[in-house]
Amino acid sequence: MCDQTFLAITFGPCDNCSQNKPLMNIYLKNEPINYCSLCVELMACQGLAKGETIHTLKTESETLKAKLEEERAKLHDVELHQVAEKIEALGQFVMKTRRTLKGHGNKVLCMDWCRDKRRIVSSSQDGKVIVWDAYTTNKEHAVTMPCTWVMACAYAPSGCAVACGGLDNKCSVYPLSLDKNENLAAKKKSVAMHTNYLSSCSFTNSDMQILTSSGDGTCALWDVESGQLLQSFHGHSADVLSLNLAPSETGNTFVSGGCDKKANVWDMRSGQNVQSFETHESDINCVKYYPSGDAFATGSDDATCRLYDLRADREVAIYSKESIIFGASSVDFSLSGRLLFAGYNDYTINVWDVLKGTRVAILFGHENRVSTVRVSPDGTAFCSGSWDSTLRIWA
Amino acid sequence: MLRFRCASRATRSSNFRKLSGVTRSVMSNNNASSSSVAVAQKAVKQLRLEAKIRRINVSQAATDLKNFCLQNAHKDPLLLGVPSSDNPFRPPKSCGLL
C-alpha cells in the first residue's frame, strides 16, 4: 500500500549501462542510484541467481513464522484469568449517562478529552468539529472542515489547539483562541499529507509533533510548525485504522491496528516495527495501551476485544461472548486498568473486567452504533460518541 | 443485522481499498519480479528481528498486570465510585462552586 506514493520519473543516463532512458530512482544499501528499468530487472535476476530465490525466501519466512509461534507458545504457561482467580470480583456497577451533548447534525466519529479533564473535542460526518465544556454542556468553539467524514480529532496537550482530519487526506491543526467570535478556520494549519483518508491522529507529549495513521497503510510523525515529515512507518498491508501512543513513562513507542488484522508496535525514533500481533479474525478498529504501558487492548470487527502483553509477546486475554456478534469500534481502559470500556456496533457499551475476562456491565442509551469511547484524564468519567449524533458522559 | 455490518465495513475499508487498488496495479507493472523478491526479503528481515526479541513468561506478565491493577485500584474513580460531592459529573447541575 505504501508504494503508492508517486515514483518521480527522471530521464537521463543510466548509472549502469550509460544509455539515455527513463530512470528509476532506487536505493541500494542506502545509496541513491539511478538505473534504467532494464538494469533494475537484470539486477533483480542476479539477486535471484545467487540462490535467494523467491522460493527459498518463502520457505525461510515460513520456518521463521513457525519458530516464532513455537517460542511464544513455550512461554504460555498460564492464562491471565487463572492468575486473577483469587482477586475479589467486582461489585455491581451503576453507571449512568450524566450529560448528553447534542449539537452535531450527523454521526459523531471521534472525540478526545482535553488534559484539563473538562473540555472535549468531537468531530462528525458532516465536517463539523466542536469543542464542548463537558461540565456545562456548552459549546465553546465550532469549526466546519472543508471535507466530510472527519474521522480523527485530537486535543493538544496544552489545550490550545485541536487537530482533525478525514477524507481530505490531511491533518489540520486549529489553534483555539479565547475570543469566541474569531474565525477559527482562518488560522488553520495543514500539517500532514497522506495519499488516502486520515483515520487517526494524536499529539505526542508536546504540541509540536503529531502522529497520524491513514488509509494508505502508513503512519507518520510530523512537525506541526513546519509541516515536515519526521518519520514514516511502513509495515501494514492495508488501511491503518487506529493508533495509540505509549503512556509517557515507558518511552517512544506507539501501537497501530489496521484492516490487515495486525497490531504493530513501532519505535518512533527509528521507524522500526518492533513487534507484530496477528490473532484477530477481522479488521482491528481500535488499539489502546494499558495504563502501565506493558500491554495493549484491541477492538475488532470480529466482535472480540483482546489484550496483548508486550513483554510476553502474545495475546493474553480475549473478551468475547457468544451473544455479542457486532464489532467493537472503540476501547479504552479505566485509570487502574481493571476495567475495559468497549463500544460496539450494536449500540451498546460493554464494560469488561480486564483481569478475570468477564463482562461486568452493559450500558444502553445510544440509538445508533457507538463509534468512540474515551475515559477522561482523571478517570472520573468516560465519554462515548455515536452515530446517533450525540455524545454521552457516563459516570 | 449482519448485512448492515458488512455494509459498514464496505464503506470504511473496501471502498477506499478499491480506490487505492486501482493505482497499485498501475504502479507495479514495471518491476513485478524485483519487487516481489524485495517484498519477500523485507518480510524475512522483519521476521528475523521479531524472532530475536526477549520474552518473559505469561505467568510473570500476568502477575505484573494484576499487581498494577491492584496497586492503582484505589485511585480509580470509575472502579470505586466516588461520592457525588467529589465527582464533578454526578450532581445533575454544575453549580456556582465550580
Tens digits of per-residue pLDDT, A299-314?
A: 999 999 999 999 999 9
Rounded-to-integer distance, Cα B49 and Cα B44, Å: 9
Q: What is the pLDDT of residues A316-368, one digit of tens each?
A: 999 999 999 999 999 999 999 999 999 999 999 999 999 999 999 999 999 99
- Asked, for residue A53, whether it belongs to a domain, the answer is no
pLDDT at A370: 96
B69 shares contact with chain A (CB less than 8 Å): yes
Average pLDDT rounded to a whole number, residues A198-223: 93
Same domain, A205 and A125: yes
Question: For residue B23, what pLDDT band results from cuts at 50, 70 and 90?
Answer: very low
Rounded-to-integer distance, Cα A166 and Cα A214, Å: 9
B28 shares contact with chain A (CB less than 8 Å): yes
List chain B residues with CB under 8 Å of A40: 31, 34
List chain B residues with CB under 8 Å of A100: none
The CA distances from residue B72 to A29, A201, A291, B68, in Å, are: 48, 28, 10, 6
List chain A residues with CB under 8 Å of B1: 325-326
Same domain, A317 and A256: yes
Same domain, A374 and A275: yes
Instruction: Name the pairing type of β-strands A161-165 and A170-175.
Output: antiparallel
Domain count, chain A: 2
Q: Which of B2, B57, B75 is closest, CB to CB, to A335?
A: B75
Of A240, A266, A239, A171, the residue nearest A210 (C-alpha): A171
Among the residue ranges A361-365, A368-372, B6-10, the one predicted with the least confidence is B6-10
How many Å from the N-terminal Cα to the C-terminal Cα in chain A? Answer: 42
B22 shares contact with chain A (CB less than 8 Å): no
Q: Is the dihedral of CA A162, A163, A167, A168 positive or negative?
A: positive
- Asked, for residue A55, whether it belongs to a domain, the answer is no
Question: Helix, strand, or coil here: A77?
Answer: coil
Q: What is the pLDDT of residues A15-72, one digit of tens each?
A: 777 777 777 777 666 677 777 777 776 766 555 445 567 788 888 888 888 888 888 8
Report domain extents, chain B: 9-74
- Asked, for residue A69, whether it belongs to a domain, the answer is no
- Asked, for residue A59, whether it belongs to a domain, the answer is no
Same domain, A36 and A87: no
List chain A residues with CB under 8 Å of B94: 135-136
B60 shares contact with chain A (CB less than 8 Å): yes
How far is A44 from chain B, CA to nearest CA, in Å? 5
Give the max Cα distance, chain B: 71
How far is B7 from chain A, CA to nearest CA, in Å? 12
pLDDT at A28: 66
Rounded-to-integer distance, Cα B71 and Cα A184, Å: 44
B29 shares contact with chain A (CB less than 8 Å): no
Same domain, A156 and A37: no
What's phi and psi for A135, nearest 5 deg?
-70, -40
Instruction: Record the pTM.
Output: 0.80
- Asked, for residue A52, whether it belongs to a domain, the answer is no
B6 shares contact with chain A (CB less than 8 Å): no
Q: Which of B5, B76, B81 is closest, CB to CB, to A336?
A: B76
pLDDT at B91: 66
Same domain, A267 and A323: yes
ipTM computed for the complex? 0.78
User: Edge to edge, what strands does the sheet with A218-223 contain?
Assistant: A198-203, A209-214, A218-223, A229-234
pLDDT at A77: 84
What's at A361, amino acid-wise?
A
List the CATH number of the domain containing A157.
2.130.10.10
pLDDT at A52: 63
Same domain, A25 and A91: no
DSSP letter string, A7-74: PPPEEEE-TTT--EEEEEEEEETTEEEEEEHHHHHHHHHHHHHTT--HHHHHHHHHHHHHHHHHHHHH
Grid cell 493505482 is found at B23
Among the residue ranges A70-79, A122-131, A361-370, B9-18, the one predicted with the least confidence is B9-18
- Tell me whether residues B57 and A77 touch, CB distance under 8 A: yes
Q: Which of A77, A272, A337 is closest, CB to CB, to B72?
A: A337
- Asked, for residue A182, whether it belongs to a domain, the answer is yes
Same domain, A241 and A329: yes
- Tell me whether residues A238 and B17 touch, CB distance under 8 A: yes
Rounded-to-integer distance, Cα B51 and Cα A256, Å: 20
**Average pLDDT of chain A, as a whole number:** 88
The CA distances from residue A304 to A86, A255, A319, in Å, are: 25, 18, 6
Rounded-to-integer distance, Cα A152 and Cα A156, Å: 13
Same domain, A182 and A331: yes
Q: Which residue of A has its CA nearest to B15?
A: A215
- Asked, for residue A293, whether it belongs to a domain, the answer is yes
- Tell me whether residues A375 and B78 touch, CB distance under 8 A: yes
Same domain, A247 and A295: yes
Same domain, A262 and A309: yes
Q: Is the pLDDT of residue A268 over 70?
A: yes
**What is the residue range of A204's domain?**
83-394
Same domain, A41 and A87: no
